[in-house]
Amino acid sequence: MHRLFIAALRAGIVAAILLGLFGQIVVIPTTAADEVDRFPPYAPYATPYVTVAILGIACVQVALVATWMLLDMVRRGAIFTPRAFRWVDIIIGSSVVATLLAVGVTGHLAMASIPSPDDGMEVISALFAATASAGVGASFAMLIVIMRGLLRKATDLQTEMAEVV
């Protein structure tokens, strides 16, 4: 893989991690506090939902760090080694955890009686977003599991070719 391409991907990973940190530290807590100020009955839900949102972003950041490590292995030509599977497994694990968080939020929004300032559209929109997040997360996890299988086959083929040569 071309060095410039790897450098551009790394720059994107750094930007995404920093943007996630900004969201975790500033945006999510501030938005939750503003919503509680606007509609006080949301107060009991603020802390759990803020925690879940911060953990969800942390899962994405963990996957980005694992992707960084995989890029480093690609740069060194060592992607077809058993160490690569550890990083792919970390990506799978973080996506599964994020998906489970989204499923939990979906279940809570569907079952709980959450007050709404207007006609309830905020809760319905949040339920739809949580459901979509759970679906995307599950799809991503399954895709990475398939990609892991392809990496396993490629690693086995390279090992076999090395033995022949």
Question: What are 89's two structure tokens?
Answer: 């497994």
**Closest to 6 in 3D by CA, of 83, 69, 63, 59:** 69
Which tops the pLDDT comparison, 121 or 127?
127
What is the tens place of the pLDDT at every residue in 13-49? 999 999 999 999 999 999 999 999 988 988 999 999 9
pTM above 0.95, yes or no: no
